[in-house]
Amino acid sequence: MPEGDTVWRTARELGRALTGGPLVRSDLRVPALATVDLTGRRVTEVLPRGKHLLTRLEGGLTLHSHLRMDGAWRVYATGERWSGGPGHQIRAVLATADRTAVGYRLPVLELLRTADEHTAVGHLGPDLLGPGWDAQEALRRLLADPGRPVGEALLDQRNLAGIGNVYKSELCFMLRLSPWLPVRDVPAPERLPALARKLLEANKSRAARITTGDPRHDHRVWVYGRAGRPCRRCGTPLRTAGQGDAGRERVTYWCPRCQPGPGPAGTPGRGDD
């Protein structure tokens, strides 16, 4: 699932592939950009911003994309077969003489003036993998709504940018917090942004995301995707439930014993089967 670490790696790969030589092909397959041709322009840099990608081009333009749940950019050598999905899922093609970047299933693709990037990403909180990371500002934003469940606060990109559903569940487990615990009741809340940054930094350069410290397949995460399986700490069956506003719930994984406290809809979180 694309989260801040995935986007960081994607930006690095796109930057290596596209910066330097001029674009020899530009094909943007969304209605609003169907007539746009970027051929001849040079990509100057590709920047990650939380879960957003900013591909800057000479002439003061930025191609803004977002991967959301299953979007992806894939890079191929010239002449190599594209294998990221069927053709109807392709939303963008950018190519230099040597490399071709293909964007699949991109839910957001827009062309902005570089000076107007703030209209796309200006609402975001401190970027966990950004050079301007500000832990104190991230903490201030997390605590600004003290009654909000910590799981929801972590997912809100206006608080800190880069956490998705995987890291939300893993962070709460590692800190022994119920995802439904109000932020005001989190002990030592400064641990949240500190551990979040540590995890994303550790994973940004590797394709296999690891939070347990164990790189073996099926041992890499604590709780995410493991509903009904035994907790790695205590053996209690892990649980899952939707969390968030109606119609926009995100699945949450947790251990009712290791993460005591409130559960879904205010039910107790500790072991009542």
Which active-site residues does the annotation give?
Answer: 2-3, 51, 250
Note whether 168 and 195 are within 8 A (CB). no
Note whether 163 and 197 are within 8 A (CB). no
Tokens of 129: 């993998």
Q: Are strands 99-104 and 108-113 parallel, antiparallel or unpaired?
A: unpaired
Give the DSSP letter string of 135-182.
HHHHHHHHHTSTTSBHHHHHH-TTTSBT--HHHHHHHHHHTT--TTSB
